[in-house]
Structure 1
Amino acid sequence: MNKLTKILDNSSKTRFLKEGIKTLILGKPNVGKSSLLNSFLGEERAIVSDIPGTTRDFLDVYVNVNGVNLRLIDTAGIHHTEDYLENLGVNIAKKFINESELILLLLDVNNILEPEDIILLNMTKNKNRIIVGSKSDLPIKMKLSSEFKSQIVFVSNHTQEGIENLKKQIVTKFNLQNIQEQNFDYLFNLRQVNQLKQAVLALENILSDVKRNMPIDIHVIHLKEAYQSLESILGSNLQDDLINELFSKFCLGK
């Protein structure tokens, strides 16, 4: 069971290799979200403008960061707006907050902390996030406590200063350093992960039942559940002769 648990613990890493980390670039309008996306891509994929609300919907692209795949999502800035299309983009951004595995929350340190910034800080405080201080090549006007300042990764999309450090912070946050050197012979999708969890749960139930001196036929039921889950992952059916052998050794219903 320990080996299965270890595989399960590594399943998120293997999934990141295959599907990428769903990463939301979040912030108020004109804070540098699209510029950060372009910095990651090394090309101008997103429209960059001084006009707030330029990104009205969202952009969804994949990028490799130090051997780790990120699914970068650049959304409309969250703020109050009367424009229907822009408001639709804001609602999409709120939806992605709940669905993302990582949030890059951008604060424009060249300006004071505004109500929109505080709202976003509160909305994401219990999320897996990295606070990014954008436009750090300009004078820092945002008043930051020493404790809060230590949590911020400062970047400049204009000079590219801090971009590499941000990439390292992302990899470290998910404990994916040197992931290319690790030998993963398995890649899991969500269905396989759930099946593996069921197998581990069934084995844990056996251990629990043993401690409670439960009848041995109960153990066989859980053991069958574990085998069924594992063979579902392998894409084959549970062998009848295996089940027959297990059941032949125990007297059920007594």
Structure 2
Amino acid sequence: MSEQQLALVTGASRGIGAAIAARLAADGYRVIGTATSDSGAEAIRTSLQQVSAVNDALVLNIADGEQTATAIKQLLADYGTPQVVVNNAGITRDNLFLRLSDDDWEAVINTNLNGVFRVCKALAKPMIKQKSGSIINISSIIGTTGNAGQANYAAAKAGLEGFSRSLAQEIASRNVRVNCVSPGFIQTDMTDVLPEGQKEAILASIPGKRFGQVEDIAGTVAFLASDDSKYITGQTIHVNGGMNMG
């Protein structure tokens, strides 16, 4: 890219988020990764600055409206307006619906859906003002297929996709794009602890006959961040090896 662009990646301390931050940094973006703790932010900073000293990290808890507003205000003051925003931060609180507590429902909706709203609300106006940008929201195959024990997570991710399509329609004329990436079964430290029988059953349902890697998601995000996708907005790109083709 002719001029270094700024990219914000939330939830960049591990797994998919860390891979996205690393890929964008390798592609020449100035990357700001976020974590919910000082120690997490410091780990991100150390990792990203091995690529370039201009990369950095900050503490951002998207579940907290006041803290989010303060952190984004500081981001804008310190670094300027991002050209790329990747909303990856999220949580799970799995349980069968009849056992699902109000707290677990509200925690997942508040982080995975309301949290993305908060980040976009804080950054949409400055991105519109600069008349360029790409917002990339990380969804999940569960938002399309549903999954037993994840009613809260499925609702949040399905809502995220609808939100993204609506926002895309509102700001497309200002050259700001909004898209989703929907991962299938991606191999991370969280999935490595699943029982072998469960992993074998999942693998049998994937036509590609392999689990996804975090780099598969990072590559798709890199495409949506780039000018190669400048005529794509309001879309959900499924990255699941054929596990769901809807």
What is the TM-score when the length of structure 2 is the normalising length?
0.40
Higher alpha-carbon Rg: 1
